[in-house]
Each structure stands twice: as structure tokens, then as C-alpha cells.
Structure 1
């Protein structure tokens, strides 16, 4: 009883201990699983309230990866992941827009598109991807597998394929409806079409004089931070940030052979050449696995197309090897085994026959008696046929065919088979004349960085990082240490640092780091480099700040140009009566050009000169305009002539141009950005993939 009383008296304290333990367990579990108690859960990205789930994302990444592999594309995994995530975000935006507009696809519309009267598109797709006659057959195979003798696992895969295909087609139909909706509303009226025509119809011929800002000394025009901030605040919306961003400097050290490695590689090549010349065949390379040999035959025409190879073979005797070329770290050696006359190419007719030996012989007799190849090919006994099939007799893959047709007369059908059932029928329809053929081995070798070199590069960069622990010293001391720093901008949606493959680990580190922090060394032999990164600044305020180095420099240049323009205009204004007079004041020559209101670049003046284009468009012929500020100069101009001749106004033509440049077609090209608008996107990819 006394013990029970003690327990009761301490029960509140026990509850506190047990509760604290449970809380520690729960919090620990959340943190060790990579997400906090109030963290991202299974949401890899969010657009306002729409979420992208990690499991669906992983499935889509796997599908995209398999497609890339099937097409022999090697993509950085982080780039692939970001592309998939961008596509899924775009889909979320589109789905919400379609829902808001009330657009749907009916069951009948989907059926017609999949297996009905409009199924031609899907039929072609399943023919290419599955090799079945049409979509109706593919559907029947998926959901009636026993009818086709299919295993359940195969049927499940086909069912999943069909369901995905239905979703894809439904989305395509929704996109068509969406596009049709806006194609019918965003159209040019008479005013739109005429305005577009007028923008491009008149071409003004001008004479001008310009004084470039570069002719004035920058040091004479001091720019203050208030000048920069005034320009920044004037156009602040140009610097909106879609997501928090960090600016970094990085050092990338390519893992390449050292000078000692190159000398060692050269010695290996010399040893390999000695061994090849001292032993028959390729026996000299038996203890040299770094050398890759490929024995094959080349025609004289093949050799003639490669000048260095031709020069090497012309100088070689049979059994000898020589160096053909060295490009960077790559060596190419050739050894000549023989040279003679051979037939390199032929054409054959071929039939695969299902039948008895007697039936095969009967078909051979009919063919040789003059019955047409096409007629025999149509026989139910013929399983496969091909006429005039090109055969490269020097290709090892065609060795069995070469052996079969060797010594056979041209134009005579024969069968090489003596089996009781089935057989093949051949005819040499064409055999080229013998030509010079070289029997050679090409041997390749690449000098790789040694382990010592790799370790030295790694150790040197680690030492530099250890000695320069803040972003300022990281950048300032790089050149003296033999390194070059490069700037980059990084956000959660950035798959790699500075377009360097396999660098997403550094991105993830940057997004967790503090301002001024320097990373550990990333990279290895597989990535081909070592990488270190320093965080210069962190932009979390929704705008790229004016202190950003690139923006600060651009704004400073603009502020300086504004001051130069003000001085030049004050110096010249009203002091001449024509362009020639202003040219004399400016110590420049008069020049000519043409200006069209719709053009992107004015020859002689540059791109995006909208102020000049506007002045010219409104200037009367003969009127003097300026001095005025252009992008990079102060100019004075005069319109000497206006050329309005050209294509006459046509509403249909200009309405079509309007649609392409400013209407529905232009909108569809920018649909993702339009639907995104000012919605907030939260990208949690670095929470899941470090």
C-alpha cells in the first residue's frame, strides 16, 4: 500500500515524463523522416492551395526517365525532376482554369476519340507503341486478356497503359476546347488589323547625327545610391522574384590528367605500339586492358574519307601498327593485318518458307522458271520475304549471309537448307565488283587522371575552402590560389549550379545555407569535377534588391547615361538649325537609316529604341527632332521621306498576323505564365531530394 501511495503521489510527474518522451519520439520521427511536424508532408510542390503529391511525382519521374532511356538520352536527374515538376504544376493550373470555366469531356466524346469515329489519332499511337492493329484491339486485349492468352501481369500493365492513355486523350480534348474557346474570342476587329498594318506599312527614311555616351568619361558623372534607388523604385515590378533566391560564387575544378599523367599516358602508347609490332595479331595488348581494340574491314572508299588513316595505311606493311592521331587525351592507333580484293556489297532476294522440303524446292523451281517474286511472296507458305535487300559483306553481322551466298551465281534462286520442314530461299540479285579491302584493327586509348592527381585536386580545393570560410575571402583570394570563381543564381527550382551536371547536391546545400557561408567540396570522378560554393546574398523579400550586383551595375549605367544625356542635350539644344549643324557640334558625321514603327532594331542605332521610333512615327516630313536621348547616345534626326508603298491593306491577312502576334496563338504560347499570374508556388523538391 505504501508503494501504491508513492506512485499515486508522483503520478503527475510521471505523466510529464511520459508525455515528454512521447513528444520527443514523435518529433524525432518527423525530423528523421526528413520533414518537420508542421512541414511539407507528402507535398513536393504547391500552387496556392493545389498540391503536387510526392508519390505521383515519383511515378511521373520514373516514366520520364524510362522514355529518355528508350531514346538514348542521358539527362541530369535533377533537371529531369524539375521538368516533370514544372509540367505537373502547369497541369494543376490548367485543371483549375478548366474547372472554373466549366469545360468537360463527355463519356461519348472520349469514347469516340478512343475507339469510335474519331479514333484515327489513337489508332496510330497504339500501332506505333504496341504493334496492334487499332485502339479497339488494344482495349479488348487489356480487359479480355484470356481471349488472347495473356498473363495477368501483362494484362495489368496494358490496363494501366490504357487508363493513362485515356487521361492523356481527355486532357488533349480539354486543351482543344480551351483553345477553341479563346480562338473565337481573341480575334482581331477592323481597328486591330488596321493598327497592325499601319505599324508596319510606313517606313521613314531619316538622316541623323548621334553623340555616343561612350565618348564621355564615366568618372566625370558620379552616380549615387539615391540615383540608383530612384531608378529601381521607378521600375521595381521588373525585379519581382517568383521564389526566394540566393546569389553565389562557385569554383569548379575539372578532374583532368596532370602533366605527369600525360607523360605516363604517352609512355603507355609507346609501349603498346612496340608490343603490337613485336607480336602477331593483337597479342601485344593482352596485358593492357586500357587499350580498346576493334578489328574490322574497310574499303578503299572508307579509307579515302579519312586523310590521317589513309596516310597511316599507305605507310604500313602487313603486321605493323602506327599512331594515327592524338586529340587531347585520346590516342588512335591502327594495325594492318592484310590487304586484298573483296566484294564489299551485294543485294539479295530472301524468303522464309513454312512447309516441307518438297514445297520449298517447288517454290525455288517456280522462281527460277520465271514466276514473279511478288507472286510467290503472296503464297500462304511464305512467312517473310524481302526483295533487293542490301547486304554489307564486310559487316560481321552479315557473316552468316556472306557464307551462304559465297560462290553462288547471280540471278539464280536456291535454298541452303536440307531440313524436312521449313527453309529459306535466296537469290543474289546484284554483286558489286571486287575492290581493295583493308583488314585492320583500330586501337583507342585515353589518358585518365591518376588517383594521385584526383587526390591532389580534391585536397587542394578542400584546403582552399578551409582557409577561406566566408564568401568575401572565397572570391577575393581565388585568383591568387589558381582558381576562377563564377557567379550563379540559385532557387528551389534550380536543378544545377551554373549548368553543371550532377550538381544538385550543391543546390540543396545553398538553399539551406546562411549568407556568407562556404560549402564543403562536392563532386567526384563520376561527375568529372570538384565543386565548392559560397553564398553571397539571400533574397527573400519578393523582389531582387537594388544591391544585386548585376541589377546595381545596370542601374548605375542607366543613371550615368541619364546624366550624360542631360549634359549633352543642354550643350547642344538650340545651337544648330539642321542635322548637319548638330553633327558639326558633335564632331560626328551625318548618317542615314530607315525606321519602321514595328521593327525590333533600327540599323545604325540599335535594338529597342522605342522612344526614337515613336518620335519618328509622329514627325512631319522635313521636321527637325532632337536633341533627344536614345539608349546609348543623344541623337538629332530629320525625316526626309516616308515610303508607304507596299502590300495594300487586307483585313484577312492582317487579322491572321494579329492572331499570331497578339491574339489567341500568342496567348497559347504563353499559357503557363498567364495561368500562373501572381499565384504563389512553393517548391519543396530540396526537402525530398538532397
Structure 2
């Protein structure tokens, strides 16, 4: 009882302790997992009500990485992630649209696609992806495994393959339905088709004299801040941005060998050449990982590098030479041996999957004439029959069969592989190429790399510059004096790289979290091949402002050209009565251009953009018009004639042209943007991946 009384007397203190502990737990979890509270959680991107979870994104990234590896691509992970995320956003929007439209695939439609009228396409996919003859065969194997002697684990794998294939085909059918619906909504009516026909009926020949804005000095036409701001207000929506942008300047220092490094590299190469000449084979560079050796037996015709080929043709056995140097890359070659051999053969080839006894039987039938090579395609025990195949006997993959293929009599089928009991290779040598010279050739590649001293010097020099220039203003002002170039760029949460430079997302992430005017530390190292430093110049929220340097320059040119146009029009208006007179006083010449008003791009370098083409379309033939303002100068013109080609009107022809240029076919490649509409994508990728 005494103990209980003590506990009761301290109850308030206990509640306080428990409350503080609970608060500490919550605050601690907030700081260690900041995305959980009031943050992005596990959402890597969001558009409208659609979210993309990080785990779903990671699964897609695994597939993309596997695909990139299989194709041999080396791709920046940040760039690949943005591509994958963009595709996933498009898929979410597409799925949302399908649901809104109520589009579905019935069981009967899917069955017909898999096993009915769509089977030829699906069968081809099954053969390519699984190696099974048809979709129906795969289905039977997956759901009747006992019939084929398959264990449950294999059957389960086949069932999963079938389910994945069904999902693919369902998406394919949904896409077909959507495309049909989309195409049907944007078609030409009778008015559209006739208007398009009328626009394309006549081709106008326009004669003109032109005076370019560059004929007037820019300094004679000052542009004020107020004028630039007014021009920006007129074009305000042109500068709207979908997400926060940050204007940066960056210095990119390539980590390249110094002159001293190149001199050392040349000496290393000279020593390697001497060592190769004095030792057998390629022992002269054995164990030196800086030299990459590729040794092969080949003919002169098969050597792609012309300089290596010239060396092989002229060098004596044992010779070594530097055959090429491009920048920091050196190519050496050593002729290890030379012989006269049969280089290639023409043969028939196939594989017997039922073992050696079946292969013996088929060989006997072929050699006796009881069956033909063409008939093998009907034999279930034969795979991959190919006639008149050219095989190179210098191919390393055929090394174990080289003697058998070289010595075998022509015209007789045989098994060059005497050990393989299954999937037996059968060959008939049809003919052999005449003996040619075969070179035993080693090609050795060496790249000059920057020394540690060079790397340290480049890094120290950049660090000294950053230490002396700690604000964005100083960074930009003093870069050139220090031997650097401050390059402008813009980044956002959706930017995977700076200036298309690989492995620069760490710098992007810094820029998206830094304060205006800050200067970054050095990013990059020897592995990335560069050092990078960034200064944050400005931050833009909804619009790129008029004082952005590139925007300001663009608007200043527009305003200045308007002033030049007014000056030129005032100078020439009414000063001549014909085109020749205007050409003379404009110190120009008379040119001509053909204009058809249904052409896809209504722009010509001399006449300018759509407004000028519209002016031409409203002018009477023979009437002098101008001077009028264009994108790049002022023009005086007349329509010499309009050639009506006399092509009869066809609704079907014009409707097809409308579809291709203004209808669904023209808009199809913009479907993702159409589905997105005015919605913004919230891209949180930088909160999950920082480097």
C-alpha cells in the first residue's frame, strides 16, 4: 500500500516524463525520417490524384537497368530515373483516362487475342521470349504440366509467364480501343476538308525587296527596363513554369592529363614497344593493366582499323609499332605470326535435339539421299536448319571445330562435336575459300591518364578560386580572370543533370536546397572525370522574370527590332512607286519565293513567320504592299501570280490530309501533354536520391 501511495503522489511527474519521452520519440522520428510527417512519405511523384510510390518506382528502375545492361548502354542513373519517372507519370495519366472513359477488355476479347484471331502476333512473341512454338502450347504446358512431365516449380514459372503475357495483351487491346476513340474524335467535317483544299489550291509567287534589322546599329536604339517589363507583360504566359526553377552558373573543369603527363605517357609507350619487340607474344606488357591487349587470328580484310591493317600487311613477324594516336589514346600493334590458311567455308548446318543416335540416323538419310535438307524443317527433332552459311575458321568460337571443318570432305554431313550427347551439331561443308594470309595479331590500347599531381593541382586551383569568391556575384564576375568560364544554366526538381554532364545530380540537389547567392563546394572526382562548382544566381517560382539574363536579352531584341521596324518603315514609306524603286532606295535586290498556304510550316527566312504569310494571302496579285514589319526586317512585296493547280476537290483526300496535319495523327505524339493538361507534376525524386 505504501508503494501504491508513492506512485499516486508522483502521478503528475510520471505523466510529464511519459509525455516528454513520447514527444522526443516523435521529434526524433521526424528528423530521422523527415518524409513521414507532413512530407512526401513514400511518394516519389504526384500528378493530380495519382501517386507513384517509391517501391513501385524502384521496380521499374530494376527493369530499366536490366534493359540498359543488356543493350550495352552506359547511362547516367539520374537521367535514367527521370526517364522512368516520366514514363510512369504518363502511364498513370493514361490509366486514369481509360478509367474515366470506361474502357475495359472482356474475357472473350482477351481469349480471342491470345488464342484466336490475334494468335499469330502472340505466337511470335512467345517464340521470341520463351522459345515455345505457340501461345496455345505455352498455355497447355502451364496448366497441364503432367502431360509434359513438368515439375510444379516449372509449371508455376510458366503460369506466371502466361499471366504476364495476358497483362501485356490486355494493355495492348486497351491502347487499340483508346486510339480508335481518339482518332474518331478529331476528324474533318465538310467545312474543314473544303477549307484545307482551298488553302492548298493556289501557290503564290511573291516578289519582294527586304531590309534586315541588322543594317541598323543596336546602340542607336536604347531599350529601357520599363519597355522590357511591358514586353514581358504582353507575353507573360510564355514565361510560365510548371515547377520551381533555379538559375545557376557553373564551372566545369575537365580532369585531363597535363603536358608533363603526356610526355611521361609517350615515354611509357616507347618503353612498352621496346619490351614487346624483345619478348615473345605480348609478355612485354603482361601484368600492366594500363595496356589492354586484344589478340586474334584474322585476315587483312577483317581488320577494321585501316592503320592496323596497313601495319599487318607490311610488318615483319615480331615487329611492334605505334600505329595510331588520337588525343590521349595510343594504339600499338605487334605481328606475332603469319600463316597461309583456309579462312572460311560455306556449309549447311542444323542441330539435332534428340541426341546422337537420332543425329546418326538423320545423317545417314541425308548422305544416302533418302531425305533432303529442305525436309528437315518438318522434323520435330531438328532445330535451326540453315543453308549456305559462311563460317570463319579464324573465329575463336569455332576453335574446337576448326580442324574437323578444315579436314572434312565436302558434300557429306557429319558431327564435328564428338562429345556433346544432346543438341548435336551437324554440318556439311559445301565449299572452302582458297587459302589466304592469316595474321596472328595483337592490338594494344593505352590511354594517358592524369597524374595525382595534376588532379591535386586542378582541385587546389578551383578550391582557391572558391575560397576567394564566396558569393554568386563574385563567382561570375571573377571567373574569367581566374581562367575559368562561368556557364549559365537552369535546374529544377526534374533536372537530372547540369549541362548534360553525367554524374552531376549531387550539384543539382545542392542548387535546389541552397540560398540565393550561395557558392557550392567542389563536386566530382577522378572517377567522374571532372570537378564542378556551382553558384546559385536566382530562384524562380511561377514565372521566369523579365530580369532573367536570357529572357531580358530576348525581350530587348524584340523591343529593339520593333523600334528598328518603325524607323525603316518611316524612312521608306511612299518613297517609291514600284518594287524596283524600293529595292534601289533600300540598297537591296528583288527576290522571289513560292508560298502555299496549306504548307505545314508557314515560315520563310525572308518573309518571316505566319503573320507575314497571312499578309501575302490577303494581297491582290500585282498590288504593291509595304513596307511591312517581319520577324527579321521590313519587306515590300507584290504577289506576281497565283498558280491554281486545277486538282479536283476530293473530300476523302482532304480529310486524310486534315487527319495527318491537324487531326489525331498530328496530335498523337502529344497525347501525354494533352492528358496532363494544366495539372502540375510534383517531382520529389531529389528527396530520395541525392547523388
> Is TM > 0.5 for Structure 1 vs Structure 2?
yes
Change in 2 beyond 3 A, CA 1:466/1:142: farther
- Contact residue 300 and residue 312 of structure 2 kept, 8 A: no
Larger CA deviation: 411-420 vs 269-278:
411-420
Larger CA deviation: 374-383 vs 613-622:
374-383
CA distance in 2, matches of 1:417, 1:523: 53
What number of residue pairs does the alignment pair up?
Answer: 687
- Contact residue 340 and residue 438 of structure 2 kept, 8 A: yes
- Contact residue 345 and residue 432 of structure 2 kept, 8 A: yes
What do residues 76-95 of structure 1 show as CA deviations (whole Å, max 9, x unaligned)?
21122111211121122222
- Contact residue 593 and residue 602 of structure 1 kept, 8 A: no
- Contact residue 300 and residue 435 of structure 1 kept, 8 A: no
CA distance in 1, matches of 2:50, 2:591: 58
Q: How does 1:517-596 map to 2 (within 5 A)?
A: 517-540=518-541, 542-596=542-596
CA distance in 1, matches of 2:603, 2:361: 80
Match of 1:330 in 2: 329
TM (norm. structure 2) is: 0.91
Match of 1:264 in 2: 264
TM (norm. structure 1) is: 0.92
Q: CA deviation at 1:682?
A: 0.8
Match of 1:346 in 2: 345
Match of 1:56 in 2: 56
CA distance in 1, matches of 2:232, 2:354: 86
CA distance in 2, matches of 1:297, 1:614: 68
Q: Secondary structure in 2 aligned to 1:524?
A: coil
Q: How does 1:456-471 map to 2 (within 5 A)?
A: 456-471=457-472
What do residues 615-642 of structure 1 show as CA deviations (whole Å, max 9, x unaligned)?
1101111212112111111111111211
Match of 2:312 in 1: 313
Structure 1, gaps ≥5 residues long: none
CA distance in 1, matches of 2:153, 2:481: 63
- Contact residue 213 and residue 565 of structure 2 kept, 8 A: yes
- Contact residue 323 and residue 331 of structure 2 kept, 8 A: yes
- Contact residue 595 and residue 602 of structure 1 kept, 8 A: no
Q: Secondary structure in 1 aligned to 2:192?
A: helix
Q: How does 1:50-449 map to 2 (within 5 A)?
A: 50-142=50-142, 148=148, 157-302=157-302, 306-350=305-349, 367-374=366-373, 377=376, 386-413=386-413, 426-449=427-450
Q: Secondary structure in 2 aligned to 1:169?
A: helix
CA distance in 2, matches of 1:616, 1:125: 55
Q: Secondary structure in 1 aligned to 2:407?
A: coil
CA distance in 1, matches of 2:593, 2:237: 34
Larger CA deviation: 294-303 vs 78-87:
294-303
What do residues 254-302 of structure 1 show as CA deviations (whole Å, max 9, x unaligned)?
2222212211111111111111111222222235332222222232434
Larger CA deviation: 456-465 vs 475-484:
456-465
Q: CA deviation at 1:325?
A: 1.1
Change in 2 beyond 3 A, CA 1:12/1:160: farther
- Contact residue 27 and residue 36 of structure 1 kept, 8 A: no
Q: In the alignment, does 2:37 pair up with 1:37?
A: yes
CA distance in 1, matches of 2:381, 2:37: 71
Change in 2 beyond 3 A, CA 1:284/1:633: same
- Contact residue 353 and residue 384 of structure 1 kept, 8 A: no
What do residues 2-46 of structure 1 show as CA deviations (whole Å, max 9, x unaligned)?
997776566445434432332232232233124151111111111
- Contact residue 255 and residue 526 of structure 2 kept, 8 A: yes
Q: Secondary structure in 1 aligned to 2:185?
A: coil
Q: CA deviation at 1:655?
A: 0.5
- Contact residue 594 and residue 603 of structure 1 kept, 8 A: no
- Contact residue 209 and residue 589 of structure 1 kept, 8 A: yes
Q: CA deviation at 1:677?
A: 0.9
Structure 2, gaps ≥5 residues long: none
Q: CA deviation at 1:569?
A: 1.7
